[in-house]
Amino acid sequence: MKKNKLKNIAGLTLIEMLIGVVISSIMMAAIYTTYTVVNNSYSQVTERAKISRSGRDIVEMMMRDIRMAGFKYILGTNTLDLPNRSYLQFVGGDTSILESHDPIIIEKGNDALGPLGGTAERIVEENHPDEGSKCCDRIHIVYDDFNQNDATQPYKRYKITYYADQITDGSGSRYAAFRSVRSWIQTIGTDVGAWSEDCPECYIGQKIRDHIVDMEFVPLDAEGRVLSPLPSPGSNTDARDNLYKIRAVDLRITFRSKGNFYRFKASEDQPRFVKGLGDRGHNFDDQKLRDSVVVTIHTRNIGSSL
């Protein structure tokens, strides 16, 4: 009697259990694959958004300074017993880039490495097959300001320099963007002055963005044409005259991700290409993401030469 009752109890056979395990494994694999795809997509979107956000921050900073280039403060008639306009010495014409007070000076490619001037040996990033590329221009921006509470020197003049320099650490060799601020020191009653880093708002070589691939500045005239020769102080008369024909600056900054972004490296015969302004570009065959920000910045305060 008991044996008959046991026969009527329902159960699972070994084959049924194995089928259940197989089905569960397939479902778990599908869920994991879906999670991996979604997570990778999220990481890529986050990384791209991070590059875009930090790119906008540095571009906004440069836009603000470039728009100020050439600004002169005029106090006018006042009861403060101060000069009604700037008395600061203006150094221009046949002088060095480092000493010049001209509103915007752009140095191209290999001549533009370092905070103040001169050249240095350039590094080549790993997996960067385009060894002949000219990374990173440098731009100098000069404008005036005013502080009525400074009885010694109420009229101010600042020189802002954006440039790229190399960094080498445990993460390898790469470029970063830097900003320097210098001030023209000339007290009331003196005829000459000098650039100095000794002011509360001054500094040399403050890093503002890591993992820079390229930084490019192109000066344009009132018709939107590229100025040639490149505006610069010195003995070249045409280059000096072009300093006060700058009406806009095309700016391109290319950043790269800190870590790998793509799943696979590009092939050497078909590298990933980063387009520059004009014919300036770069080829890469690693797994890094590179993204460019391109803007045109109009100069509002550059008029005729003083």
Pairing of strands 155-169, 138-146: antiparallel
160 token code pair: 């802002």
Lowest-pLDDT range of 77-81, 97-101, 170-174, 198-202 = 170-174
Q: Give 207's pLDDT tier (boundaries 50, 70, 90).
A: very high
**Is there a contact between 225 and 276 (Cβ–Cβ < 8 Å)?**
no
Helix (H) or strand (E) holding 57: helix 14-68
- What would the pLDDT profile of 86-137 be if each residue is shown by its tens digit? 999 999 888 888 899 999 999 887 555 555 444 444 444 443 334 444 578 8
Rounded to an integer, what distance in angstroms lies between the CA atom of residue 66 and that of residue 139? Answer: 9
Q: What is the pLDDT of residue 119?
A: 41
Q: Give 171's pLDDT tier (boundaries 50, 70, 90).
A: confident
Q: What percent of the chain has pLDDT over 70?
A: 83
**Which 8-state DSSP code applies to residue 111?**
G
124 token code pair: 């080549």
Helix intervals (H) in 166-279: 237-242
Phi, psi of 276 (to 5 degrees): -105, -170
pLDDT of 2 above 80 = no
Nearest Cα to Cα of residue 75 among 180, 232, 188: 188
**Average pLDDT, integer, range 15-19:** 83
Q: What is the pLDDT of residue 84?
A: 92
Rounded to an integer, what distance in angstroms lies between the CA atom of residue 248 and that of residue 254? Answer: 20
- What would the pLDDT profile of 254-268 be if each residue is shown by its tens digit? 988 888 888 788 887
More confident call, 2 vs 301: 301
pLDDT of 238 above 70 = yes
Nearest Cα to Cα of residue 72 among 103, 100, 110: 103
Rounded to an integer, what distance in angstroms lies between the CA atom of residue 173 and that of residue 189? Answer: 49
**Average pLDDT, integer, range 265-284:** 84
